[in-house]
């Protein structure tokens, strides 16, 4: 890895627009720990991670980064990183531990304290209401396959936003509903671990419905806060220039991206998605649902990590992935920054989106401290730099990109990968809970402070 080489194609720092939001992101189950404290009851991730073989090394979120107790120290770290905003998620099983009914004030108190700490530090709180930790009590009644869960979610959104109101700058209803539906109910590699395509289709619908039900509630309770949703989206490229591969890439885009974008922005599911449903995969749509889902939002959050390169396979809409040579992270994810540019420009051309945030983007990498206690995470630094360069390019093309949140503030529980994959710009020693800002974090702090990418570029490898 080489640092400080002048980039031939860049003259001076790449400046971002004034008021561009620089943040970083986490999620409750991945960092909080304290799973049985102050009235919290189990979520689907407590149940799933306790099943042998579901998570690497049997890791659970029982302690994680102990953020529930260490949040003041973590907010101080954010300050050192010059963050203007912090994107965190609120754990439904702390607030309404049985999913519906009794509200747990102690759970609300925690997010109240965190919000105050952030505001005191001059950091804007960006709260996500659902980042995968459904109360187990609701899963016992069918989880997201049951329409009741959407109603329960709307009640939960009401409770949270009545208490936190517009002290929260920005509410995100859901993080990556694709993951909840596809990984959780279709493929079974995330909680609740179901492998049932019909359940996946029902879950997708109820997640989008829950979003739509919550939007007016959030607006009523927090009129000054902005409201949106975060999707995990990919750019799609064909494996070759053949018509078949190009069609496979387009179908892939429809099935994974537009299946969420179209209901949210156009009030309908795309044809490719409808045509790909098997006879038993029925969307449980009721009158008015599609109208509800397209409640106008203030922003779309995008989590971008990789692109898909698709090769046609007869009879399989969307074809199959192929893996071109290149740089891959320890998740085996290709590093492909131009895909972020392609995606942003395409979204801006195809939908009326008021404002976009990149709510997650980052790289895994398992470097630990050296003998001087420093963490040299060359690939992550390069990854952030290259994606931010593409984000800057997209802004030049008129994309209304208003902020960027590095995933993640600190190393944490990477779901089915347990603690074996690290995404933090801050290193966490899980034995001692010591935090160390990595090279990428120091670099990001300078970028956030100057609102610009430096006039030098890091070369990797
Ligand atoms: O850690 C996850 C996060 O919870 C959701 N988006 C992707 C990240 C990396 O896999």
Cβ contacts of residue 396 below 8 Å, gap of 6+? none
For the cut 90, the answer to whether the pLDDT of residue 181 exceeds it is: yes
Which helix (H) or strand (E) element contains residue 111?
helix 105-120
Rounded Cα distance, 193 and 176, in Å: 17
Max alpha carbon distance in the chain (Å)?
A: 63
Percent residues over pLDDT 70 in the chain? 98
For the cut 60, the answer to whether the pLDDT of residue 5 exceeds it is: no
The count of other CB atoms within 10 Å of the CB of residue 6 is 10
Question: What mean pLDDT is reported for the chain?
Answer: 97
Contact 434, 376 (CB under 8 A): no
Burial environment of residue 138 by CB neighbours within 10 A (0 to 12, 13 to 18, 19 or more): buried
Place 12 in a pLDDT band, splitting at 50, 70 and 90: confident
**Beta-bridge partner residues of 5:** 457
Q: What positions carry a catalytic annotation?
A: 176, 360
Atom of ligand 1 lying closest to residue 360 CA: 6
Question: Which stretches of 41-136 are assigned E, i.e. beta strand?
Answer: 85-89, 124-128
Q: How far is the CA of 38 from the centre of ligand 1 (A)?
A: 26
Rounded Cα distance, 15 and 376, in Å: 26
Which helix (H) or strand (E) element contains residue 308?
strand 307-313
- Domain positions in the chain are 2-459
pLDDT in tens, 48-57: 999 999 999 9
Q: Is the CB of 360 under 6 A from ligand 1?
A: yes
pLDDT at 392: 98
Rounded Cα distance, 331 and 176, in Å: 18
Cβ contacts of residue 54 below 8 Å, gap of 6+? 48, 193, 416
Main-chain dihedrals φ then ψ at residue 119, nearest 5 degrees: -65, -40
Rounded Cα distance, 174 and 125, in Å: 16
pLDDT in tens, 301-316: 999 999 999 999 999 9
pLDDT at 11: 72
Place 163 in a pLDDT band, splitting at 50, 70 and 90: very high
Q: Is the CB of 303 under 6 A from ligand 1?
A: yes
Q: Is the CB of 45 under 6 A from ligand 1?
A: no
Q: How far is the CA of 182 from the centre of ligand 1 (A)?
A: 14
Q: How far is the CA of 414 from the centre of ligand 1 (A)?
A: 7
Contact 94, 131 (CB under 8 A): no
pLDDT at 1: 52
Which helix (H) or strand (E) element contains residue 4?
strand 2-6
pLDDT at 9: 57
Give the DSSP letter of residue 225: S
Rounded Cα distance, 271 and 252, in Å: 12
Rounded Cα distance, 23 and 388, in Å: 13
* Nearest protein Cα to ligand 1, atom 9: 414
**Beta-bridge partner residues of 437:** 426
**Ligand 1 mutation pick, 407, 408, 419, max ligand atoms within 8 A of CB:** 407
DSSP 168-198: SSEEEEEE-HHIIIIIIIIS-SSTT----HH
CA geometry: angle 375, 376, 380, nearest 5 deg: 110
For the cut 70, the answer to whether the pLDDT of residue 6 exceeds it is: no
Name the CA radius of gyration of the chain, rounded.
Answer: 21
CA geometry: angle 284, 288, 294, nearest 5 deg: 95
pLDDT at 267: 98
Q: Is the CB of 407 under 6 A from ligand 1?
A: yes
CATH topology of domain 2-459: TIM Barrel (3.20.20)
332 phi-psi bin (left φ>0, alpha ψ -120 to 50, beta other): left
The count of other CB atoms within 10 Å of the CB of residue 53 is 6
pLDDT in tens, 242-251: 999 999 999 9
**Ligand 1 mutation pick, 133, 303, 331, max ligand atoms within 8 A of CB:** 303
pLDDT in tens, 353-386: 999 999 999 999 999 999 999 999 999 999 999 9
Rounded Cα distance, 413 and 128, in Å: 17
Q: Is the CB of 176 under 6 A from ligand 1?
A: yes
For the chain, how many residues are written? 461
Rounded Cα distance, 379 and 337, in Å: 13
* Nearest protein Cα to ligand 1, atom 1: 414
Comparing C-alpha atoms, which of 124, 7, 18, 85 is closest to residue 395? 18
Rounded Cα distance, 51 and 315, in Å: 35
pLDDT at 2: 53
């Amino acid at each position: 890895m080489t640092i400080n080489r002048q980039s031939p194609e860049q003259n001076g720092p790449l400046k971002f627009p004034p008021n561009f939001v620089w943040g970083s992101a986490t999620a409750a189950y991945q960092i909080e720990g304290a799973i049985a404290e102050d009235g919290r009851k189990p979520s689907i991730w407590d149940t799933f991670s306790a099943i042998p073989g579901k998570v690497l090394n049997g890791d659970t979120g029982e302690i994680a980064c102990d953020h529930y107790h260490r949040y003041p120290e973590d907010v101080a770290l954010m300050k050192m990183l010059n963050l203007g905003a912090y994107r965190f998620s609120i754990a439904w099983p702390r607030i309404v531990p049985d999913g519906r009914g009794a509200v747990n004030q102690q759970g609300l108190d925690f997010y109240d304290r965190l919000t105050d700490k952030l505001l005191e530090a001059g950091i804007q709180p960006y709260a996500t209401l659902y980042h995968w930790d459904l109360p187990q009590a609701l899963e016992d009644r069918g989880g997201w396959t049951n329409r009741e869960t959407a109603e329960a979610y709307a009640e939960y959104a009401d409770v949270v936003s009545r208490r936190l109101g517009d002290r929260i700058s920005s509410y995100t209803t859901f993080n990556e509903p694709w993951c909840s539906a596809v990984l959780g109910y279709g493929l079974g590699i995330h909680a609740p671990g179901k492998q049932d395509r019909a359940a996946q289709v029902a879950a997708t619908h109820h997640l989008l419905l829950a979003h739509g039900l919550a939007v007016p509630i959030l607006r009523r309770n927090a009129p000054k806060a902005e409201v949106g949703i975060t999707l995990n989206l990919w750019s799609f490229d064909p494996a070759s220039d053949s018509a078949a591969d190009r069609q496979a890439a387009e179908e892939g885009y429809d099935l994974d991206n537009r299946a969420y974008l179209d209901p949210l922005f156009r009030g309908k599911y795309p044809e490719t998605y409808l045509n790909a449903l098997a006879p038993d995969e029925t969307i449980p749509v009721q009158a008015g649902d599609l109208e509800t889902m397209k409640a106008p939002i203030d922003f779309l959050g995008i989590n971008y990590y990789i692109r898909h390169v698709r090769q046609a396979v007869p009879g399989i809409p969307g074809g199959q992935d192929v893996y071109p040579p290149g740089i891959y992270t320890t998740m085996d994810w290709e590093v492909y920054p131009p895909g972020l540019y392609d995606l942003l420009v395409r979204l801006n051309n195809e939908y009326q989106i008021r404002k976009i945030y990149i709510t997650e983007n980052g790289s895994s990498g398992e470097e630990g401290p050296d003998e001087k206690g420093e963490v040299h995470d060359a690939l992550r630094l390069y990854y952030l730099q290259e994606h931010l360069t593409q984000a800057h390019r997209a802004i030049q093309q008129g994309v209304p990109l208003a902020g960027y949140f590095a995933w993640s503030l600190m190393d944490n529980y990477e779901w089915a990968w347990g603690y074996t994959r690290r995404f933090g710009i801050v290193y966490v020693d899980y034995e001692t809970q010591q935090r160390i800002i990595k090279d990428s974090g120091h670099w990001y702090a300078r970028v956030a402070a100057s609102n610009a990418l430096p006039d030098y570029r890091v070369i990797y490898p």
